[in-house]
Amino acid sequence: MPRQSLTKRGITVIEPNTYAPSVPILALSGHAPQSPTQERTVASNKNQHFVPRCYLKPFTLNGEGLAISLLNVDQHRLVLTAPVKHQCSGDYFYGKDLQIEKALQHIEGLYANSLTRVLADRYILTDEDRELLRSFWLLQHLRTDAASRRTADMTNGVADVAHAPEEFRLAIREAVQLAMSTFVDALDDVSDLKVCLLRNRTELPFVVSDDPAIMTNRWHLHDVRSRGRSFGVGKAGALFFLPISPKVICVIYDGDVYSVDHKGGWAEIKRIEDIRAFNEHQFLNCRANVYFSDWPGRDHLLDELDRISPRRPISRYRIHTAVFDREENGYKRYKVVSPEEAQAAGEAIIHSEAISPAPSSWPSVISWRRGGAVYSNGSGLGFVRRAQAQTHGIRTFRKIKIA
């Protein structure tokens, strides 16, 4: 194993917010139902989407699912009618054995059915659809090319600093399959989160991107007590966004930290500034393209790109190295040094820290919960939600007020 290889070299790797792969994705439904139409050849499944066409469909021209408008953020280039079949996909992105691809087709079918219900008139959010939206957000967060590249880049960055053997390095496809293997276990980490749908009552539509399932954390980014720590799906203050149409966005949040005033699972947005705040996350998180349905509003998107681009992180990770300094009161203390100094010391600790983009503003529809709290036991686990504290033994955790 990669970790063992590094340990033999006297190097300990501390990784942020990772999940141990254990259960295959097929365990989500127990099986992936087959039918004659689903029994396709390997060649017909060559073009595999990491953002499914059923998800992009509401953002396509006339909602037909055939063509979509896009803005390429690197080239500042607008495209009016890009074929959807070629967006957010790659040849055998999940592998040639099609096991993951077929499981995803089943899950995407469940989401497509839920989408029809959610976008219907007078729909009231059900517990079944809350669970499905949480699950689909998590899957979409894990499965994209951008997410896999972040994992591979961080792993390979550690390997470079540690001068690790080649087997420690991670290819993009390996990162994809690793992420898929964590999905079922990670479902428990989001099951306690609140789910709400927000209806856009403004003239400015929601946009989406090639990495649309946003994981952010307003509390973590603003509270000095969390500095130097990465946040993940199980951390206190979790805040997830998933636009599901130009007029509807799903918000998934830590109910002990935030509050959304809703009725029947719905809240309304009447301020354009709030739409801009949500859309900013798509610009910050995307790898290459932002997708949109409002071609006449394209100049606004170019202006937004110019405004937001300076906030896009150049790198999505930071690596720290430390060596033994002294022993004090029975504890070993380490000091941060350069990678060169760490290598010369022979024994070192390497800590990889995920860097998350910070937006310029937050939607006013999501407010701080009065009396809100996070939980900590003072360890490297950091600040977690009440459900995670209960899993680890809540008596060892201290309840900390957010303000």
User: Domain segments of the chain: what residues?
Assistant: 2-401
Nearest residue to 287 via CA among 186, 224, 350, 213: 213
Identify the weakest region by mean pLDDT among 154-158, 341-345, 395-399: 341-345
Nearest residue to 236 via CA among 1, 65, 17, 54: 17
Contact 393, 385 (CB under 8 A): no
**In which element (H, E) is residue 397 found?**
none
Residue 227 in this model has a pLDDT that exceeds 50: yes
State the average pLDDT over residues 255-281.
Answer: 97
Position 42 confidence tier, pLDDT thresholds 50, 70, 90: low
Which pLDDT score, from 0 to 100, does residue 267 have? 97
The first and second tokens of residue 194, run together, are 């609140």
- Integer Cα distance of 320 and 339 in angstroms: 8
DSSP state of 401: E
Burial 306-321 (b: 16+ CB within 10 A, else e): eebeeeeeeebbebbb
**Is the pLDDT higher at 149 or at 120?**
120
Position 45 confidence tier, pLDDT thresholds 50, 70, 90: confident
**In which element (H, E) is residue 278 found?**
helix 272-285
Q: Mean pLDDT over all residues of the chain?
A: 85
